[in-house]
């Protein structure tokens, strides 16, 4: 008999501090997208908004975390991070990512890709088809480097981190010693479709981040927090330092001994060239062989 999935099967909550929660949007054991919920005195801030196929995250937050007014801040505009934003009345996203939204958030595109996230589970796929959020016409207010969202003594500081997308940002919460970085800082960072110059420039982006965030801050990124207790939790600022060094190494050609990464999808090497992995400490940087040609 097919399992009857509910929203509570797809969404779970972790409380990190009295103010900081992580809402986990799960499509399989391997594909879970963390959404931050930061509770202030009079309102709460939702950081990223998921893939938009796991049910109404606004209703879930209001029922399970807080009934305060909600402000959604998307850290970048890709479909697995911005597709639930239309559920919120007040929405922010850096304007550099606005041009990709109409095509990128289409419900047909998300449903087509959903099968890989669900690892082919037909029951989850059926649930997602029945609970898909239509993002047509979604609009945002701009948010950019140096912006600060305040509520009482709570402050959320915005740091621009262009690279993964043009409008990628991080949101630092100094009082809580947590920083949400979405896909800006991952243990496995993909630059396999980037140029050598892009990779070198990103080293400076990460260095700016390191200079603005306290050394004892815990990072919460857009994918790897799904493995709490078993996959590198917690992620510290050492990961940012290792990623900066990895970018510098690849840009300067210090890549002797790097391993070839198998194709993720058929024809990937034909499109992008063979992908290599450069490892520094906790950070793995994936790059194309073509950057040196």
List, in order of start, the domains of the chain with CATH numbers. Answer: 1-182 (3.60.15.10), 185-293 (no CATH)
Predicted model pTM: 0.92
Place of tokens 């995250």: 57
**Gap between the Cα atoms of 11 and 34, Å rounded:** 10
Percent of the chain at pLDDT exceeding 90: 68
Residue 229 has pLDDT above 50, yes or no: no
Which band of pLDDT confidence, cut at 50, 70 and 90, is reported for residue 1?
A: very low
The pair of structure tokens assigned to 28 is 């399989």
Summarize pLDDT for 204-216 with one digit per residue, the tens. 999 999 999 999 9
Summarize pLDDT for 125-158 with one digit per residue, the tens. 888 899 999 999 999 999 999 999 999 999 999 9
Q: How does DSSP assign 99-161, residue by residue? A: GGHHHHT-HHHHHHHHHHHTTT-HHHHHHHHHHPPP-TT---B---TT-EEEETTEEEEEEE-
Contact yes or no for 286/261 (Cβ under 8 A): yes
Which band of pLDDT confidence, cut at 50, 70 and 90, is reported for residue 268?
A: low
> How high is the pLDDT of residue 264?
59
Instruction: Give mean pLDDT, residues 103-129.
Output: 87
Q: How far apart are the first and last CA of the chain?
A: 55
> How high is the pLDDT of residue 230?
41
**Gap between the Cα atoms of 13 and 206, Å rounded:** 29
């Amino acid at each position: 008999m097919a399992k009857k999935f509910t929203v509570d099967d797809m969404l779970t909550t972790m409380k990190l501090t009295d103010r900081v929660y992580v809402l986990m949007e799960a499509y399989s054991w391997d594909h879970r997208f963390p959404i931050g919920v930061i509770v202030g005195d009079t309102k709460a801030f939702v950081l990223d908004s998921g893939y938009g196929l796991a049910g109404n995250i606004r209703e879930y937050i209001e029922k399970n975390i807080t009934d305060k007014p909600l402000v959604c801040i998307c850290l970048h505009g890709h479909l697995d991070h911005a597709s639930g934003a239309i559920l919120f009345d007040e929405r922010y996203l850096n304007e550099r990512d606005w041009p990709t939204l109409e095509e990128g958030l289409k419900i047909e595109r998300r449903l087509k890709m959903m099968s890989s996230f669900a690892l082919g589970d037909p029951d989850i796929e059926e649930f997602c088809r029945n609970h898909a959020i239509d993002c047509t016409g979604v609009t945002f207010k701009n948010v950019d480097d140096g912006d600060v969202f305040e509520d009482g003594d709570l402050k959320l500081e915005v740091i621009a981190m262009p690279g993964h997308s043009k409008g990628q940002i991080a949101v630092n919460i100094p009082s809580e010693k947590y920083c949400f970085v979405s896909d800006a800082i991952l243990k496995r960072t993909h630059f396999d479709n980037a140029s050598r110059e892009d990779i070198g420039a990103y080293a400076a982006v990460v260095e700016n981040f390191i200079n603005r965030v306290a050394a004892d801050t815990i990072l919460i990124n857009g994918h790897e927090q799904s493995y709490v207790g078993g996959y590198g939790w917690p992620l510290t600022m050492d990961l940012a330092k290792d990623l900066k060094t990895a970018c510098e190494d690849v840009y300067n050609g210090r890549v002797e001994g790097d391993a070839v990464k198998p194709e993720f999808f058929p024809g990937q090497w034909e499109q992008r060239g063979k992908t290599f992995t450069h490892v520094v400490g906790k950070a793995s940087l994936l790059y194309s062989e073509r950057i040196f040609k």
